């Protein structure tokens, strides 16, 4: 028995002409938490898909416990003890925790499910994973929080006797409290000898949780190192292949008293009596825990959900926005948190995505001018530095960062003056994040006003001119530049007031 | 130099193959060649091809609206009965006119049945969109209601008559070359091709089918557009009903049976995804022609009519499976 639980040596994978993985090595020691990082498109996901049997590698060897293996398909991977927990959880929403764990391995007599034995079997793993934070095994998992759903997914992986668990961006949609719970669970796994491969964009987490890190860049293996021996700047420089001075670009602040949007007493399903003003050229941060109602407020203003009461005034004119169509005409744009489900037409080209809400400008008499369409989309394609061969490329095939740029391009092309950005850098690598911050700064210089929702405190403080905090549907406070601190944000987020 | 040429021609071949529209057309060409070999004396003759096209134009007309509905991730199972009711009503109107010694295209009657088609589509769309229910079951339901109404209205028996103008339309050809029905189909294909690909409306249809929530948040009026898709489907179904009437010259309550499934099959064979957002009318044309040629050649070689149904089923399965593989 060697010291490595998993070795992937010289793994190469090409898709038609694109080399996704070029001679990549990954060595994971037994029982460690191994971070796998790299920018989007660096090859992390492809490498993990090779490991979990989704893709066949063109070359290279995979050794599990020192023994060379061929992983034919995802089922084969599970049988060899490799389980992957995807960003998009693979649970059946209508089934409960126990049924989800047992899915595909139902205990039955003559095909009739023996629920008593299933309960016993599944509880063993659910209790182990969810200790104290996951109690209700009988409710449909769609009613559980994302963190709880993850636990069910982990329990499911363990129930297959997995020795290696891959977690792909597990904390992306978790609140900080939920992250703590997840970390506890991961550390417990480690204690019990399970090897974890941990993929994340949040570098702070790696230092808190992981033992070793492997860096990939452009489909190539760059380095692996003990976490204790390195720091964040070193990691970033390895990821992007150059030194990155600051995480946030310098902000050129605009002092303006001109109110572009005034919200008074807005009340909806999940928030009540929310009032605030947005100034011209301002980046207003909006934060709070997941479930605090921050996204719902913006959706309400935008006309995506029904509002019970309250008024919205745009440039001095009271508006009644009952459909996003009206919002777009009034100059609003909304880059939603879930890009794939709510922002993009994934199977359409970059061009058609960019022009989707600007068709009025480039058409006459209802007929779209393909010349104007080409020009408009190419202008923003270039301005936002979308990395793709051309604007005809289907959006599905772009990385997260580039997809987000396409979403932003769509709103810029439609001439939005008030932009709502909900978690604009979620799932995006460091380099692209910087570009998006820079773009936001450029936009406010041009008179656009932005409300940015973010769960990441450094981001909210690094980018915003002013921060509003929500807690369980209430606006709990507003912080000006001089008051920005993690402590203040935490207090307001948990419903306390500042003295 | 030689190698260079090779790679260049490889590229062209690749580009043709990677275009989603190529599959149905390659299948169409192969089917045409096979049919010519199977029935060298009759199939490739001018009269026969004209007949194939004449028959195809009726399913083809239904398939236009069906393509639009499938593009917004819907389906319309009521088209058969829209066809039947418009044919029967128009036949009765024309019977009176013919009895009065009038002849001609009877524009008023035709417009009336087209309006009926649109209204049925409007009802379908409105229920589906405003109540947010499955199009499959709603159009199945409205279809059954229509079917009952047709039987009550016609007492289940064929009836009515057709004016000479429509008799000519149904069986003659322009300059003796292109059947009138085919001309009408081609015109409608052209109109809706332009609507789908060159207008804001068309863009919105594709956007809605591709991701309805994203479309809504982009400021597209998704509900209105989806209802319009069903109205278009009702309109083309009613037009197909008129064409069918012109062809069989009598209002036949059961005459349109099977057109719903034929149209859906043709659209899907032509590369339109039932999940919405993907597909073209160009593909639908190929799908319609494939179905029509197959029917024709199986008849020509004297295949057992029951066996024909089996073969048709297999072709649909094959076409869909090949497309899934390319996804």
Domain boundaries, chain A: 4-243, 259-494
Nearest to A366 among B199, B215, B217 (CB): B199
Task: Read off the CATH number of the domain in which B55 is found.
Answer: 1.10.3470
| CATH architecture, range A4-243 | 3-Layer(aba) Sandwich (3.40)
The pLDDT of residue B33 is above 50: yes
In order along chain A (499 residues), what is the average pLDDT of each group of 10 residues?
85 80 92 87 85 90 92 88 80 87 82 83 86 80 83 87 88 78 88 91 85 90 90 81 68 86 94 94 90 91 94 94 94 92 92 93 91 94 90 88 93 94 85 88 93 88 93 90 86 78
Q: What proportion of chain B, given as a percentage, has pLDDT over 70?
A: 95
Burial of B99: CB neighbours in 10 Å, binned 0-12, 13-18, 19+:
exposed
Distance from CA of B75 to the nearest CA of A (A): 20
Homologous superfamily (CATH) of A259-494 is P-loop containing nucleotide triphosphate hydrolases (3.40.50.300)
Q: What is the pLDDT at residue A40?
A: 66
Per the listing, tokens 């088209």 go with B79
Instruction: Determine contact: A377 vs chain B, CB below 8 A.
Output: no
Instruction: Determine contact: B221 vs chain A, CB below 8 A.
Output: yes
Contacts of B199 in chain A (CB under 8 A): 363, 366-368
The answer as to whether B251 is a domain residue is: yes
Q: What ipTM, to 2 d.p.?
A: 0.83
Sheet containing strand A317-319, strands side by side: A274-279, A259-267, A309-314, A317-319
Instruction: Determine contact: A334 vs chain B, CB below 8 A.
Output: yes
Q: What is the pLDDT at residue B2?
A: 47
Distance from CA of A10 to the nearest CA of B (A): 30
Contact (Cβ atoms closer than 8 angstroms) between residue A261 and residue A312 = yes
Q: What is the pLDDT at residue B3?
A: 46
Mean of the pLDDT values across residues B72-99? 94
Distance from CA of B186 to the nearest CA of A (A): 21
Contacts of A323 in chain B (CB under 8 A): 221
Nearest to B211 among A346, A359, A363 (CB): A346
Instruction: Determine contact: B223 vs chain A, CB below 8 A.
Output: no
The answer as to whether B104 is a domain residue is: yes
Contact (Cβ atoms closer than 8 angstroms) between residue A164 and residue A1 = no
The pLDDT of residue B91 is above 90: yes
- Residue B205: alpha-carbon gap to chain centroid: 18
Residue B123 CB neighbour total at 10 angstroms? 19
Q: What is the pLDDT at residue A494?
A: 78
> B218 vs A304: CB contact, 8 Å cut-off?
no
CB pairs under 8 A between A and B: 75
Ranges A63-77, A420-434, B10-24, B171-185: which has the least confidence: B10-24
**To probe the interface with B, which of A17, A322, A324, A335 has the most B CB atoms within 10 Å?**
A324
Is residue B1 very low, low, confident or very high in pLDDT (cuts 50, 70, 90)?
very low
Beta strands B173-174 and A332-335: pairing type? unpaired
Query: pLDDT of B275-295, one tens digit each?
Result: 889 899 999 999 999 999 998
CA–CA distance, B208 with B201 (Å, rounded to integer): 11
Token output for A31: 């029982």
Considering only alpha carbons, which residue of chain A is nearest residue B194? A367
Contacts of B198 in chain A (CB under 8 A): 367-368, 370
Q: What is the pLDDT at residue A117?
A: 85
How many domains does one find in chain B? 1
Q: What are phi and psi of B116, to 5 degrees?
A: -60, -45
**To probe the interface with B, which of A17, A347, A393 has the most B CB atoms within 10 Å?**
A347
The answer as to whether B311 is a domain residue is: yes
> A347 vs B200: CB contact, 8 Å cut-off?
no
Instruction: Mention every residue, 6+ apart, whose C-beta is less than 8 A from residue A262.
Output: A277, A278, A312, A313
Query: Quick check: do A4-243 and A259-494 share a fold?
Result: yes
**To probe the interface with A, which of B192, B219, B228, B277 has the most A CB atoms within 10 Å?**
B219
The answer as to whether B309 is a domain residue is: yes
> B219 vs A344: CB contact, 8 Å cut-off?
no
Q: What is the largest CA-CA distance in chain A?
A: 74
CA neighbor of A281 nearest in space, from A480, A434, A466: A466
Contacts of A357 in chain B (CB under 8 A): 218-220
Contact (Cβ atoms closer than 8 angstroms) between residue A68 and residue A2 = no
Q: What is the pLDDT at residue A88?
A: 67
Token output for A378: 């190419």
- Residue-number span of the structural domain to which B303 is assigned: 45-326
Instruction: Determine contact: A342 vs chain B, CB below 8 A.
Output: yes
- Those of residues 168-207 in B touching chain A at CB distance below 8 A are 198-201, 203-204, 206-207
């Amino acid at each position: 028995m060697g010291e490595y639980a998993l070795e992937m040596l010289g793994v190469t994978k090409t898709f038609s002409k694109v080399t996704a993985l070029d001679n990549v090595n990954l060595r994971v020691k037994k029982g460690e938490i191994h971070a796998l990082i790299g920018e989007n498109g660096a090859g992390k996901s492809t490498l993990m898909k090779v490991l979990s049997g989704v893709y066949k590698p063109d070359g290279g060897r995979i050794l599990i416990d020192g023994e060379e293996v061929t992983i034919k398909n995802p089922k084969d991977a599970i049988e060899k003890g490799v389980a992957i927990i995807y960003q998009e959880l693979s649970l059946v929403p209508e089934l409960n925790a126990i049924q989800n764990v047992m899915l595909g391995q139902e205990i039955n007599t003559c095909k009739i499910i023996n629920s008593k034995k299933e309960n016993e079997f599944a509880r063993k793993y659910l209790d182990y994973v969810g200790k104290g934070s996951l109690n209700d095994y009988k409710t449909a998992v769609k009613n559980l929080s994302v963190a709880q759903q993850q636990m069910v997914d982990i329990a499911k992986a363990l129930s297959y006797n997995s020795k290696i668990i891959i977690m792909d961006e597990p904390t992306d949609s978790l609140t900080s409290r939920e992250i703590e719970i997840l970390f506890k669970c991961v550390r417990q796994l480690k204690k019990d000898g399970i090897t974890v491969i941990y993929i994340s964009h949040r570098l702070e987490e790696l230092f808190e949780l992981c033992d070793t890190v492997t860096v990939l860049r452009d489909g190539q293996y760059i380095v692996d190192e003990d976490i204790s021996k390195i720091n964040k700047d070193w990691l970033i420089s390895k990821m992007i292949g150059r030194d990155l001075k600051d995480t946030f670009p310098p902000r050129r602040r605009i002092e303006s008293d001109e109110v572009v949007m005034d919200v008074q007493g807005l009340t909806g399903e999940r928030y009540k009596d929310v009032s605030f003003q947005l100034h011209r050229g301002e980046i207003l941060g909006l934060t709070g825990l997941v479930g605090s109602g921050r996204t719902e407020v913006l959706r309400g203003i935008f006309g995506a959900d029904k509002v019970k009461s309250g008024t919205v005034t745009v440039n001095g004119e009271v508006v009644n926005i009952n459909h996003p169509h009206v919002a777009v005409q009034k100059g609003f744009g909304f880059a939603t948190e879930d890009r794939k489900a709510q922002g993009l037409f994934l199977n359409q080209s970059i061009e058609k995505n960019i022009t989707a809400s600007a068709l009025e400008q480039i058409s006459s008499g209802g007929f779209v001018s393909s010349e104007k369409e080409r020009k408009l989309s190419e202008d923003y394609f270039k301005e936002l530095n979308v990395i793709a061969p051309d604007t005809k490329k289907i959006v599905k095939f772009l990385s997260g960062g580039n997809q987000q740029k396409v979403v932003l391009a769509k709103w810029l092309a439609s001439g939005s003056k008030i932009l709502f950005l909900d978690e604009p850098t979620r799932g995006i690598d460091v380099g692209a994040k910087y570009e998006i911050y820079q773009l936001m700064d450029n936009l406010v210089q041009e008179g656009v006003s932005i409300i940015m929702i973010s769960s990441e405190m450094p981001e909210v403080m690094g980018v915003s001119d002013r921060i509003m905090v929500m807690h369980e549907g209430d606006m709990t406070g507003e912080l000006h530049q001089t008051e920005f601190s993690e402590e203040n944000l935490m207090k307001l987020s948990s419903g306390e007031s500042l003295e | 130099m030689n190698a260079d040429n090779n790679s260049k021609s490889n590229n062209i071949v690749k580009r043709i193959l990677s275009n989603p529209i190529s599959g149905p057309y390659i299948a169409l060409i192969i089917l045409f060649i096979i049919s010519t070999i199977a029935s060298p004396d009759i199939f490739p003759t001018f009269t026969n091809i004209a007949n194939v096209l004449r028959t195809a134009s009726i399913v083809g007309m239904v398939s236009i609206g069906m393509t639009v509905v499938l593009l917004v991730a819907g389906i319309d199972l009521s088209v058969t009965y829209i066809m039947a009711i418009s044919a029967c009503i128009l036949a009765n109107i024309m019977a009176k006119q013919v009895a009065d010694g009038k002849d001609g295209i009877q524009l008023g009657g035709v417009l009336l049945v087209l309006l009926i088609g649109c209204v049925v589509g409007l009802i379908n769309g409105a229920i589906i969109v405003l109540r947010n229910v499955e199009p499959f079951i709603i159009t199945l339901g409205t279809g059954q209601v229509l079917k009952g109404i047709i039987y009550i209205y016609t007492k289940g028996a064929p009836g009515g008559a057709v004016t000479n103008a429509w008799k000519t339309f149904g069986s003659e050809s322009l300059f003796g070359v292109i059947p009138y029905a085919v001309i009408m189909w081609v015109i409608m294909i052209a109109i809706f091709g332009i609507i789908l690909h060159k207008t804001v409306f068309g863009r919105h249809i594709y956007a809605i089918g591709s991701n309805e929530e994203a479309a809504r948040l982009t400021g597209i009026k998704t509900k209105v557009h989806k209802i319009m898709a069903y109205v278009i489907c009702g309109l083309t179904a009613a037009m197909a009903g008129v064409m069918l009437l012109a062809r069989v010259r009598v209002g036949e309550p059961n005459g349109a049976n099977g057109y719903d499934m034929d149209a859906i099959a043709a659209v899907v064979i032509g590369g339109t995804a039932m999940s919405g957002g993907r597909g073209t009318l160009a593909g639908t044309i190929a799908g319609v022609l494939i179905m029509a040629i197959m029917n024709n050649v199986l008849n020509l070689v004297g295949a057992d009519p029951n066996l024909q149904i089996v073969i048709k089923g297999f072709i649909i399965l094959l076409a869909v499976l090949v497309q899934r593989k390319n996804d």
